């Protein structure tokens, strides 16, 4: 750091130093990106968005003989996986003070190739609110993307690009249920717009919970100490075999940059959500055929009967809840419906708990509930649709 004490003879040099620092700060501000918000349709008529060049890593590798075996393994992992990782930039429309519409840069993030149909997986918050998006491949070929679908509660979204199949290298998917604290992980992304950046670390903890865009909790989140910064969102988290085990989503920081606390949505949630987004454009959780009251009503009823849980409003005929004999509320008859107290063995105290636990299941699964009815606790098993 420069000496704070200066003399008259050092003034020109100090001025030059300050000017240089000013240039660096200006560049840093230009390079910083923010993760933005998805339009229902991503338009295809915008001018190309400029991106940072990517070094030709394929031709710049150090000869194998100069690398240790562990170094060579990391180099191979990056060179095999980076062609599947993409740079995403967005544009948004805004109106100036004179009522004139204009298109301005929105933000940027990362994504990865899901299949040979051109589907790109990223975070929902990277695309949320954007009017247009552009995907730049590893070889710097750019494509305007179309919106496929998203799940804000899981912070996941899917775009699609019309690229030749032979240029689409899909990622290899891993099993996030088999992860261990302490194992090595690798993140590839575009922090601050710097494309194809590799960072390394370990899994610091498992089974964390973070809030999605809607405030719902995302379960089984992977905590890592690999550097994750703005622009990394939506990028793949890899194990030492180059398999994607999560989607980098959030950091916990006071400064806005990496502090060694990064979080990734686990791949087993991604595998449950993304196929639905591709097929239907939205994620529909498994349904027992129950509607609930608002949080305020639930709190008042729980306080009155002194039973924590969620009150069933209506039971839909033909679904598992009706077949299991669960009962809804009938205001005309002053009949209070069943109060769900546990789901899958876990206490349910509000509608968020209910959605969080139910989200683990898929259509066709059975789930066990404990309900309070007129002073008694009943346990039932019902099928989900």
Q: Which of 233, 249, 258, 302 is catalytic?
A: 233
pLDDT of res. 256? 66
Task: Using the 3D structure, point to which of 103, 135, 167 is the last residue of a domain.
Answer: 167
* 284 in any annotated domain: no
Q: Where are the alpha helices (DSSP H) in the chain?
A: 11-31, 69-81, 124-127, 267-280, 295-305, 320-323, 351-358
Q: How many domains does the chain have?
A: 3
Task: Using the 3D structure, point to which of 254, 278, 302 is the last residue of a domain.
Answer: 278
| DSSP 8-state class, residue 157 | E
pLDDT of res. 37? 34
* 372 in any annotated domain: yes
* 285 in any annotated domain: no
* 44 in any annotated domain: no
Q: Tokens 């890593």 identify what position? A: 57
Q: Where are the alpha helices (DSSP H) in 316-378?
A: 320-323, 351-358
Closest by alpha carbon to 317, among 351, 288, 354, 344? 288
Asked whether the beta carbons of 135 and 159 are under 8 A apart, the reply is yes
Respond yes or no: is residue 351 known to be catalytic: no
157 burial via Cβ count (<10 Å: 0-12, 13-18, 19+): buried
pLDDT of res. 258? 65
pLDDT of res. 260? 72
- Whole-structure pTM value: 0.74
CA distance to 55, 60, 239, 306, 376, per residue, from 67 (Å): 20, 13, 20, 66, 68
Q: How far apart are CA 354 and CA 70, in angstroms?
A: 45
Q: How far apart are CA 81 and CA 189, in angstroms?
A: 11
List the pLDDT tens digit at each of the 385 positions of the chain.
434 333 344 444 444 444 433 433 333 333 333 333 333 333 333 444 444 444 444 444 555 568 899 999 999 999 999 999 999 999 988 887 787 877 888 889 999 999 999 999 999 999 998 999 999 999 999 999 999 999 999 999 999 999 999 999 999 999 999 999 999 999 999 998 888 899 999 999 999 999 888 888 898 999 999 998 889 999 999 999 999 999 999 988 777 666 778 999 999 999 999 999 999 999 988 889 999 998 889 999 999 999 999 999 999 999 999 999 999 999 887 889 999 999 989 999 988 888 888 888 888 899 999 999 999 999 999 999 8
Looking at the structure, do residues 263 and 188 belong to the same domain, yes or no?
Answer: yes
- HSE-up (13 A, CA, CB side) for residue 28: 7
Q: How far apart are CA 51 and CA 182, in angstroms?
A: 35
Respond yes or no: is residue 166 known to be catalytic: no
* 6 in any annotated domain: no
CA distance to 88, 122, 134, 170, 191, per residue, from 141 (Å): 12, 18, 10, 16, 19
Closest by alpha carbon to 109, among 193, 177, 43, 40? 193
Q: Which of 119, 125, 131, 204 is catalytic?
A: 125
Task: Using the 3D structure, point to which of 219, 248, 278 is the last residue of a domain.
Answer: 278
Respond yes or no: is residue 175 known to be catalytic: no
Which residues fall within 8 angstroms of residue 168, CB to CB, at 6 or more apart? 113, 115, 116, 117, 118
| Helix, strand, coil tally for the chain in percent (to 5) | 25, 35, 40
CATH number of the domain residue 267 falls in = 2.40.10.10
Q: How far apart are CA 62 and CA 45, in angstroms?
A: 42
Asked whether the beta carbons of 38 and 124 are under 8 A apart, the reply is yes
122 burial via Cβ count (<10 Å: 0-12, 13-18, 19+): buried
* 31 in any annotated domain: no
- What SS3 state is found at 65? helix
Domain with 309, as residue range(s), is 290-383
Closest by alpha carbon to 289, among 250, 262, 324? 324
* 37 in any annotated domain: no
Q: Which of 131, 155, 338, 359 is catalytic?
A: 155
């Amino acid at each position: 750091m420069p000496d704070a004490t200066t003399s008259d003879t050092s003034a020109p040099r100090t001025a030059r130093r300050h000017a240089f620092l000013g240039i660096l700060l200006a560049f840093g501000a230009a390079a910083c990106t923010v993760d933005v918000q998805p339009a229902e349709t991503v338009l295809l008529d915008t001018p190309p968005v400029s991106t940072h060049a990517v070094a030709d890593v394929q031709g710049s590798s150090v000869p194998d003989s100069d690398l240790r075996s562990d170094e060579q393994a990391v180099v191979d992992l990056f060179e095999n996986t980076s062609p599947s990782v993409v740079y995403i930039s967005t544009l948004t429309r805004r109106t100036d003070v004179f009522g004139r519409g204009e298109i301005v840069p929105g933000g940027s993030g990362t994504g990865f190739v899901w299949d040979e149909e051109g589907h790109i997986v990223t975070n929902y918050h990277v695309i949320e609110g954007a009017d247009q998006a552009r995907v730049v491949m590893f070889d710097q070929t750019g494509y305007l993307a179309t919106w496929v679908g998203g799940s804000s509660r899981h912070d996941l979204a899917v775009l699609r690009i019309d690229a030749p199949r032979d240029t689409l290298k899909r990622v290899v998917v891993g099993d996030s249920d088999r992860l261990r604290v302490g194992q090595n992980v690798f993140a590839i992304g575009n922090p601050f717009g710097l494309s194809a950046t590799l960072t390394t670390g370990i899994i610091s903890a498992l089974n964390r919970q973070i809030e999605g865009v809607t405030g719902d909790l995302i379960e089984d989140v992977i905590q890592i100490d690999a550097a994750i910064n703005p622009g990394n969102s939506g990028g793949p988290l890899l194990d030492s075999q180059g398999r994607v085990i999560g989607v980098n989503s959030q950091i916990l920081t006071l400064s806005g940059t990496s502090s060694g606390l990064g979080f990734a949505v686990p791949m087993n949630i991604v595998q449950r959500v993304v196929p639905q987004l591709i097929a239907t454009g939205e994620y529909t959780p498994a349904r027992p055929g129950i509607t609930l009251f608002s949080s305020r009503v639930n709190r008042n009823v729980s306080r009155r009967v002194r039973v924590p849980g969620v009150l069933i409003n209506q039971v839909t005929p033909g679904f598992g809840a009706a077949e299991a004999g669960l009962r809804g509320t009938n205001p005309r008859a002053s009949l209070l419906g069943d109060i769900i107290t546990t789901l899958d063995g876990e206490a349910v105290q509000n509608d968020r708990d209910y959605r969080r636990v139910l989200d683990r299941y898929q259509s066709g699964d059975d789930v066990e509930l404990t309900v309070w009815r007129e002073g008694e606790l009943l346990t039932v098993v019902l099928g989900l649709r």
